[in-house]
Amino acid sequence: MTRIDFHLNVSDHLLYTCRLIRKAYGSGLKIVCYSTRPEVLENLDKLLWTFSEEDFLPHVVSGHPGVADTPIVLTDKADDIAHYDLLINLDEQWPPFFARFERLVEIVGTDEDNKALARQRYKFYKERGYPLNTFDRASG
């Protein structure tokens, strides 16, 4: 069963996502970042190239060659996902294919609209019996 972690009070979603990706990739995990908004995936793609001078984070946007061989995939769909270690949700709704993954990370911002959408996702997962964890960035 998919383990779901909510990271709360994150001020910069994409920068925080890069940090999570670096940590997960360094641990040998393969990562999928999901959003239905093309601008989110485009901005994350750009940021991953400049995020760290010391770390190379090999990634590809879905639809491009090499998706199956690349450890970090940025996607808006489920049909070309080749690995299922970690899914990072950058969308406002739950990913329809999240149950394929060992772990799902939900990143929750500081504004009330974002928190309200996250509460809906939390309730959705909880009602289906998924193990949920929360990590509040405001407390440390």
The predicted pLDDT at position 139 comes to: 66
CATH number of 3-139: 3.40.50.10110
Nearest to 92 by CA among 37, 137, 133: 37
In whole angstroms, give the CA distance from residue 93 to residue 134. 18
pLDDT tens sequence across 42-81: 999 999 999 888 888 999 998 888 788 899 999 998 777 8
The predicted pLDDT at position 108 comes to: 97
Domain boundaries, the chain: 3-139
The predicted pLDDT at position 40 comes to: 97
Task: Give residues with Cβ within 8 angstroms of 105, minimum separation 6.
Answer: 4, 5, 6, 7, 20, 86, 87, 88, 89
Low-confidence stretches of the chain (pLDDT < 50) are none
The predicted pLDDT at position 140 comes to: 52
**Considering the entire predicted model, what is its pTM?**
0.95
Task: Give residues with Cβ within 8 angstroms of 76, minimum separation 6.
Answer: 34, 35, 36, 37, 38, 41, 62
